[in-house]
Amino acid sequence: MRRPFAALALASVLAAPAGAVNTLPPLFDDLQERTFRFFWETANPANGLVPDRHPTPSFSSVAAVGFGLTAYPIGVERGYITRAQARERTLATLRFFRNAPQGDARTGMAGHKGFFYHFLDMQTGQRYGNVELSTIDTALFLAGALFAQSYFDREEAEEVEIRRLAAEIYARVDWKWAAANAPAVSLGWRPEEGFIQYDWKGYNEAMLLYVLALGSPRPEHALGPEAWKAWTSTYERSWAAPPYGAESQPHLTFPSLFVHQYSHVWIDFRGIRDDYMRKVNEKYKGFDYFENSRRATYAQRDYAIANPLQCRGYGGDAWGLTASDGPVDKTFAWQGQRIPFRSYAARGMGGLQHYDDCTLAPTAVAGALPFAPEITIPAVVAMKERYGDFIYGRYGFLDAFNPSFTFDTQLQHGKMVPGKGWVAGDYLGIDQGPILAMTENHRNEFVWRVMRTNPAIRTGLIRAGFTGGWLSK
C-alpha cells in the first residue's frame, strides 16, 4: 500500500542518500519527488505498464516502462517508498514482460524475437494499433530491467526472481535477427511489411542499444565488435563546431538534447573511451562521451543567447530544445518569417535536422544536470520561478511551453495562458525519466554506481573496445 503524499514529503525531507556528493537547491527535492510520483501513480500496478503521457488517456510506452523500473529504486533511496513496495511493482512488471505473448502475428502480441512494440495497450499489454517493433524503445526498457537486476541484490525469494526474470528477458532478445543489414541494427520491424529500411548509425541515442547488443550472454543473439565499428564509422558526419558562440567546442552533434542524455542515464561514460574517443582525446585532452554531452549542452545555451528567431524568453537561463509536445501543426508569421509550429517534434539546433519553433522543454535542461550543473541548475530554477504557476504541477514540470506562441487558433495540445503563451497539458514518461534519474546521478551517482556492476553493461562496453576509468577497476 502506498504511503500518503504527506508522509512521502516528510520522508524526502528527512532522507538523504548515503554517499551524496552534490547538494542541490530545495526545488530539486520537490521536483524529484513529484517526478517519481508520475511513475508510481500512473502505472498500471497489475502489469507495470507506464503510460506514454498523462493525464490524456494513453497507451503505454515501452521506453517509459524502462524509466519506471529505474525510478522505483530511486524512490527507495530517496525514502518515497519502501524496498518491499519497489520489489512488488518491479516483479509485476518483469513477470508481465517475461510472459507477454511473442510472435509474428499482427495482433495479440506484445513483441517478437525478444523485442517489444513501441506502444502497448495499458490493460492487455498487446500491440497498440499498427506501431512498429522498436529496437531503441526495447533497449531503453532493457536498461531499466538490468538496473533492477543489479539493484535488487539480496537473497530474498522476490529479489532472486527479479534477477532471474531480468536475465531471461534480456537473454532472449535476438539482436542478430534485428541486424537485417548486418552489422547495423534496424530501427524496427512490422509484421505487415518487415524491417524498417533505416538502421541505427552514429551518432544518436542508440549508443546504449549497441552496448546491450554486444553484451548479450547468448552468442547466437549477440552482435560482435564489428557492429560497434560500423556504428562509429559514421561519426565524422556529425563532428562539428556549434554554429552559435562556441566555435572552440567541437563535438559529435545532434540537434535534440535527448540524444546526448538517454545512454548516459544508465552508463557512466566519464573516463572510459572506445577507439574513436581515444583518438579524439589525443587532440582534446580529457575528451570522452560525457564531455561530448557537456559541449552539446553548452551549445544549446549559446544558441538561446544568440536567439536567431527572436523567441520570447530565450536567454542564458532559458533554453532547452529536445523532442517534446508543441501547440499545433500550423505555420504562422513570426518576426518576419513563416515558422512551422508542430504538435510534437524533435526540436534542436544545428545540423540538417535543426528545428526550432520557440518551444522549450524542461527535460532538456534537467536531463543535462550532471553535464553542466553550473548552467542547468540556474535554468531549472528560472523556469520554475517564471513559469511555475503554469507549467509546474502534481508531477513536476509539464512537458513543454512556448511563450512566443500567442496565436488565436485551435490547439492540438495544452492550453493558452494570457501573457505567457502556450503551455503543454501532459507529462510524458520518456521526458520525466531523465529528469528523475539524471538528478539522482548528479546527487550521488546512484544509477551509474549500480549499473557499473551489471555484467551485461561491462561486457558490452569491453566488447565495444572501451577501456579506462571505472571499467578498468
Average pLDDT score over the chain:
94
Residue 458 has pLDDT above 80, yes or no: yes
pLDDT value for 350: 82
Which segments of 218-319 are extended strands (E)? 239-240, 251-252
Q: Is the predicted pLDDT of residue 165 greater than 60, yes or no?
A: yes
**Mean pLDDT to the nearest integer, 440-463:** 98
Q: What band does 430 get if pLDDT is binned at 50, 70 and 90?
A: very high
Residue 218 has pLDDT above 70, yes or no: yes
Q: Is the per-residue pLDDT at 6 higher than 60?
A: no
Average pLDDT over residues 177-192: 98
Helix (H) or strand (E) holding 324: strand 323-325
Range name among 12-16, 261-265, 370-374 with the lowest pLDDT average: 12-16
Place 7 in a pLDDT band, splitting at 50, 70 and 90. very low
How many CA atoms are closer than 13 Å to the CA of 31, on its beta-carbon side?
28
What pLDDT score does 248 carry? 62
Output the pLDDT for position 256. Answer: 97
* Across 50-76, average pLDDT: 99
From residue 132, alpha-carbon distances to 52, 62, 348 in Å are 15, 12, 25
User: Is a pLDDT exceeding 50 seen at residue 278?
Assistant: yes
Distance (Å, whole) CA 349 – CA 23: 31
| C-alpha closest to that of 362 among 316, 417, 308, 427 | 427
Q: What is the percent of the chain with per-residue pLDDT over 70, rounded to a whole number?
A: 95
Query: C-alpha dihedral over 375, 377, 382, 387, to 10 degrees?
Result: 120
Q: Is the CB of residue 169 less than 8 Å from the CB of residue 98?
A: yes
pLDDT band at 21 (very low <50, low <70, confident <90, very high): confident
Tell me the pairing of strands 421-423 and 396-397.
unpaired
**pLDDT tens by residue, 368-382:** 999 999 999 999 999
Cell numbers 506484445 correspond to what residue? 110
Confidence of residue 470 (pLDDT cuts 50, 70, 90): very high
Q: How far apart are CA 25 and CA 27, in angstroms?
A: 5
| Entry pTM | 0.94
Residue 247 near residue 241, CB atoms below 8 Å: yes
- Rounded to 5°, the CA angle 2-11-385 comes to 105
The arithmetic mean of pLDDT across residues 337-356, rounded, is 92
Q: Is the pLDDT of residue 259 over 90?
A: yes
The CB density around residue 156, as the number of other CB atoms within 10 Å, is 12
239-240/251-252 β-pairing: antiparallel
pLDDT digits (tens, 9 = 90+) for 238-248: 999 887 875 56
Cα–Cα separations (whole angstroms), residue 433 to 70, 160, 366, 393? 8, 26, 10, 16
Residue 8 has pLDDT above 70, yes or no: no
pLDDT of 111 higher than 60: yes
Q: Is residue 211 scored above 60 in pLDDT?
A: yes
**Portion of the chain with pLDDT greater than 90, in percent:** 92
Domains in the chain: boundaries: 5-472
Closest CA to 275 of 233, 246, 316, 238: 233
In this structure, are residues 279 and 252 in contact, taking their beta carbons and an 8 Å threshold? no
Closest C-alpha to 312, from 334, 339, 297: 334
Please say if the pLDDT value at position 37 is more than 90.
yes
The CATH code of the domain at 5-472 is 1.50.10.140
Locate all alpha helices (DSSP H) within 274-392, ordered by sequence: 275-283, 289-306, 362-366, 373-391
Specify the pLDDT at position 460.
99
> What 3-state DSSP class applies to 250?
coil
Q: Are 66 and 436 in contact (CB under 8 A)?
A: no
